[in-house]
């Protein structure tokens, strides 16, 4: 299932700044943080909770706390921009890292680094990558995460292309996607249109 948050006023506001080619890296980073917080609050609806009771100053109240075992996996490099705001929304989380790079000529993603915490069927994994273009990076990343034992995996991105969503859903029909915006299409170089260009380059000023 894919959730598209593009009607949210804050998503529209921050995405417009991210798209603007004249936005400088420091402002780009700030808006990446702000839009990720909004998207992550929506993705957090997928979290499991445990019922608990708490003693108020007056009596015992029914309450809830987040189930343990939340793991964020940012896809390097660009996913790093989403990590701090995501951890700020969901306390007590662990982090795994996957480095994926697209070949400039073929747009095929290759994994160059992976370091995961222990994963099990009860772990709730949120993969962070701002751009889901062909879906290749995300699909390979999720494949590795599932191979380590995770069964509850979600994908969080800022912009997704329809082609990438279709390919990803075919590979991983059990994984929910929460996206800031579903854009129009990919161009011949597999960049998202209208998109915002190369997220990693804009985030890290390279």
- For ligand URA, the binding residues (CB under 6 A) are 78, 131, 133, 191-192, 195, 198-200
Smaller CB separation from ligand PRP, 136 or 180: 136
134 binds ligand PRP (CB under 6 A): yes
Smaller CB separation from ligand PRP, 69 or 82: 82
Q: Residue 77 binds which one of ligand URA, ligand PRP, none, with CB within 5 to 8 A depending on kind?
A: ligand PRP
Catalytic residue among 16, 106, 118, 184: 106
What residues pair up with 76 in beta bridges, in sequence order? 99
- Residues 122, 152 contacting (CB under 8 angstroms): yes
For the stretch 36-69, what's the b/e string if a residue is b when 16 or more beta carbons lie within 10 angstroms of its beta carbon? bbbbbebbbeeeeeeeeeeeeeeeeeeeeebeeb
Between CA 194 and CA 39 the distance in angstroms is: 20
36 binds ligand PRP (CB under 6 A): no
State yes or no: is 2 an active-site residue: no
Residue among 13, 19, 77, 151 that touches ligand PRP (CB under 6 A): 77
* DSSP structure string for 62-98: EEEEEPS-EEEEEEETTTHHHHHHHHHHSTT-EE-EE
Smaller CB separation from ligand URA, 74 or 195: 195
Between CA 85 and CA 104 the distance in angstroms is: 29
- 143 to 202, contacts with ligand PRP by CB under 6 A? 164, 190, 198-200
Is the backbone peptide bond immediately before 194 cis, with ω within 30 degrees of 0? yes
Please identify every residue annotated as catalytic.
Answer: 102, 106, 198, 201
Interface positions with ligand PRP (CB under 6 A) = 75-78, 100-102, 107, 109, 129, 131-138, 164, 190, 198-200
């Amino acid at each position: 299932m894919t959730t598209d948050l593009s009607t949210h006023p804050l998503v529209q506001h921050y995405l417009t700044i991210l798209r603007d080619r004249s936005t400088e890296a420091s402002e780009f980073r700030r808006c990446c943080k702000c839009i990720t917080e909004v998207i992550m609050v929506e993705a957090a609806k997928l979290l499991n909770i445990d019922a608990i009771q708490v003693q108020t100053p007056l009596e015992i109240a029914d309450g809830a706390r987040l189930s343990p075992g939340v793991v964020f996996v940012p896809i390097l490099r660009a996913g790093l921009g989403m990590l701090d705001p995501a951890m700020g929304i969901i306390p007590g989380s662990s982090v795994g890292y996957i480095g994926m790079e697209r070949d400039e000529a073929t747009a095929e993603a290759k994994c160059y680094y992976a370091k995961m915490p222990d994963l099990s069927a009860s772990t709730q994994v949120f993969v962070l990558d701002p751009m889901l273009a062909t879906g290749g990076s995300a699909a390979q990343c999720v494949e590795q995460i599932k191979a380590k034992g995770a069964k509850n995996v979600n994908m969080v991105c800022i912009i997704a292309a329809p082609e990438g969503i279709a390919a990803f859903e075919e590979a991983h029909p059990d994984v929910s996607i929460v996206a800031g915006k579903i854009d129009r299409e990919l161009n011949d170089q597999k960049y998202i249109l209208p998109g915002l260009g190369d997220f990693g380059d804009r985030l890290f000023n390279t």
